[in-house]
Amino acid sequence: MSTENTGSLDTSLVAAAAGALAVMCASASFAGVLADAGWLIPALITVLAVVGVGVLGRRLGWPTVGVVAAQLAGLLVILTVLFASSSAILGVLPGPAAIAELARLLGGTGELIRTGVPPVPADPPLQALVCLGLGVVALLVDLIAVGIGTPAVTGLVLLCVFAIPASLADRMLPWWSFALGGAGYALLLAAAGHHRRWRRYEEPDRVAYALFGRTTAVVAGTAGVIAVLAGSVFTGVGTEGRLPGSVPEEFGGTDGIGLQPFTSLRGQLNRDRVVELFRVRGLQQDSYLRAMTLRKFDPRTGWQLDGLTQGVDANAPLPLPEGTTIGRGRPERIEVQPIGYRDPWLPVFGTPVSVSGMGRNWRYDPAAGIVFTQTNQETRPYTQQVIVPDPSPEELRAARGPMPIDPAYVDASGISPQVAELAQRLTADAPTEFDKAVAVNRFFTDPANGFRYDLTTAPSTGQDALSDFLFRGKRGFCEQYASSMAVLLRSLGIPSRVAIGFTAGYQDGTEQVITTEDAHAWVEAYFPGWGWQTFDPTPLSDGRTALPQFLDTALHPPQTPAPQPGQPRPGPVPGAPAPPVAGAQPDSRDVPQQRREPADRGWSITVLALIVLLACAGAATPLAIREIRRGQRLQAITEGREGAASTAWREVLDEVRDRGHQPRDTDTARQLADRLVTDHDLDATGADALKHLVTAVEREWYAPTAPSDGTLTDTLEAITRSLHHNAPLDLRSRLFPRSALPPWRTTP
């Protein structure tokens, strides 16, 4: 090495280090979805290894293809050392056993991603996946920024790093992750951008000025703003919950009954395996855990959430539900610890008196009986003070009086005459509203009527789904049963709604464990004074049903002794079983198989992510074109190719265009140079360099046999440095350089 290199910095090494730093800054976004920092050190080692192999390959003069191949091999080796060393050859080399171990480890990430709710622990499978992804990103950034010399294009690659955790997180990623990403990208632009203009070895003060000067600060701020906006878009897409009162379109238009309302629950509750959702302490008797209620019935699409109000602050003492004047019942204090549940609906038992511990911005709607939030936040452990109503059948039979509830709860529009006639026939002998509700409930649970719980419904006959279920199929799951019973009650004038939530789960020591298997839908019917009471028509055969005492007593009345000879037989019991339906099949009482996961809705996230990426790519295209063109010209000038002076002159003309001045076709090189010095106030160094370049251009144009000028690189650098100092570009011109846009007409 010559002495001129003493105390200088290798500019290609500076650019490579900036690329590695930019990748690690972008990886900070994973802090929003990974619960601990166990991934950080392996990721850092992986990125440094990939970039280090690239630096070594370029030092040895390998071609670009050879450098990329060596980096891929290095990535495989480092993954083997980090995650499969026990199966590797000599603990380092990736043999067949080590590759199989890595494949097994990476294959296990699918289940973690599908069942985990961010933030999730950074277990080895996720660490391996993150390291693999960041290793590939580091390779691409190193290739684009250092190998090809177009650092602006790396912004798209780094944006993808942000997009992955932002689309999975349920809330905004940490602000500092965007700040780090913007700063890393700005340093990469400064380092790799100057790399093509610097000499092979540069003085440290010049490198520091380029990396930490005003230009880099402006680019860093701009990149940070773009990263925050893009992160906001992706985070909104990835959020599991939605604003209460809305029904996302991706769940609309089903031909089943009651499927559409299962919007935010659907993605979590229909799994290929059981996922624990809650642990509950203090529950004295099995009861349903209500997440939301649905009041609007559409014969075409099923039940929908409708009419949810802003309600009251859920952290304050809660009023009785709308239309409820009797607050009698069993008081309970219940502690709920969410495990794998995150949604804008906070499930509650019974009649809530107070709820605490879940954080701010939670609301309670007394009309719907729902605790909800309109902000994206984590569901924390919370405590409920509740009243579990315990009316007797006689008290509900005697419930009379006005119904101070929304008339929408008795809306029976769209119900077919055939369904209404069935409801009348089932309740012909029921004297009270309560007995009618019991009779309808029994119609579904009595084995003689042929209804069976099943996760597959009977084939459609072309009729509406409700009629298909009630009169022909008689096979379905809780949504079908709850939806059908609520419709039948409304046709009788009994206010009703569908509730969605969970059964009580199973006992584990002093706790109740509620899992995805306990997702359930039931019916709530209104009785004056007593409010909304639970009915459950689903004929479950696995012991998960948790009927309130009044309903269990009414459905299973004490057996009366057989009459003695000569004594009259007792009359019909109100709410007795309805006559069997013709053609009914005996109940098989099959234990249902677990639910299948619905069609993946990740396509909507992917589509919107692609739209955002394409928009960002379109916005970055002019800057990318300008950087690519500049890099190619500088390389041609540095290598002294034919026409190097003309190439340098074209670069100066683009600098002029970027500043809003279109050169006239009639101007000679010297005329244009004079105007450039005057219009942009070039200093003496810049003016002298410009004259030197004009001389070289004229020599090349008019005396092509003359020897080439070997100082063109320094000459061009002096001109551009003078332009940047005396006529700096504004932010708009930096991001959207005019020289990369289609030319416009100007007046001579």
In 3D space, the residue among 441, 456, 590, 506 whose CA is nearest the CA of residue 276 turns out to be: 506
Q: Is the peptide bond before 417 cis (omega within 30 degrees of 0)?
A: no
3-class SS string, 503-533: CCCEEECCEEEEEHHHEEEEEEEEECECEEE
Distances in whole angstroms, Cα of residue 660 to Cα of each of 193, 629, 698: 22, 19, 25
The domain limits of the chain are 3-239, 249-555, 630-740
Per-residue pLDDT, averaged over 464-480, amounts to 83
Phi, psi of 532 (to 5 degrees): -85, 125
- 56 token code pair: 């070594």
Q: For 669-728, how does the pLDDT look when each residue is reduced to its tens digit (9 = 90+)? A: 888 888 888 888 888 888 888 888 888 888 888 776 655 666 888 888 888 888 888 888
* Cβ atoms of 405 and 495 closer than 8 Å: yes
- What is the sign, positive or negative, of the torsion defined by CA atoms of 35, 36, 38, 44? positive
Above 90 in pLDDT, residue 200?
A: no
What integer best gives the mean pLDDT of the chain? Answer: 76
Per-residue pLDDT, 69: 92
CATH number of the structural domain 249-555: 3.10.620.30
Mean pLDDT, range 95-100, rounded to an integer: 87
Work out the percent of the chain whose per-residue pLDDT is above 90.
25
- Mean pLDDT (whole number) for 15-36: 83
Say whether pLDDT at 582 is over 50.
Answer: no
Position 119: which residue type? P
Residue 73 confidence (pLDDT): 92
Q: In this predicted structure, what is the pLDDT of residue 575? A: 39
Render pLDDT for 484-520 as a digit per residue (tens, 0 to 9). 999 999 999 999 999 999 998 999 989 999 988 888 8
3-state secondary structure 322-340: CCECCCCCEEEEEEEEECC
Report helix, strand and coil shares of the chain as percent, to nearest 5. 50, 15, 40
pLDDT at 623 over 90: no
- For residues 562 and 405, which has the higher predicted lDDT (pLDDT)? 405
| Model confidence at 17: pLDDT above 60 | yes
Residue 221 has pLDDT above 80, yes or no: no
CA-derived radius of gyration, the chain: 36
Structure confidence at residue 395 as a pLDDT band (50, 70, 90): very high
Average pLDDT for residues 630-652, to the nearest whole number? 84
pLDDT at residue 242 tops 80: no
Quick one: pLDDT band at residue 630, thresholds 50, 70, 90?
confident
More confident residue, 259 or 561: 561
The H or E element that residue 604 is part of is helix 602-638
Give exposure, 411-423, as e/b (b: 16+ Cβ within 10 Å): ebeebbeebbebb
Which pLDDT score, from 0 to 100, does residue 111 have? 56
What pLDDT score was predicted for residue 726?
Answer: 84
pLDDT of residue 248: 34
Higher pLDDT, 480 or 243: 480
What mean pLDDT do residues 525-535 have? 95
pLDDT tens digit sequence for 159-168: 778 777 765 5
Q: In this predicted model, what pLDDT tens digit does every residue of 553-575 receive, in sequence order?
A: 898 887 655 555 445 444 443 43
- Rounded to an integer, the average pLDDT of 297-324 is 87
pLDDT at site 621? 75
| d(C-alpha 173, C-alpha 273), whole Å | 29
Write b or e for each residue in 699-724: b if 16 or more Cβ atoms lie within 10 A of its Cβ, otherwise e. Answer: bbeeeeeeeebeebbebbbbbbebbe
Q: Which residue has the higher pLDDT, 383 or 111?
A: 383
pLDDT for 4 equals: 44
* For residues 322-341, average pLDDT: 90
Please report which residue ranges of 378-470 form alpha helices under DSSP H: 393-397, 417-426, 433-445, 465-467
Q: Tell me the C-alpha to C-alpha distance, in Å, between residue 33 and each of 22, 378, 478.
A: 20, 12, 33
pLDDT at 391 over 60: yes
Q: For tokens 């450039």, what's the residue?
A: 676
Higher pLDDT pick, 510 / 169: 510
Which pLDDT score, from 0 to 100, does residue 533 have? 96
Condensed to tens digits (0 to 9), the pLDDT of residues 34-85 reads: 777 888 899 999 999 999 999 999 888 888 889 999 999 999 999 999 888 8
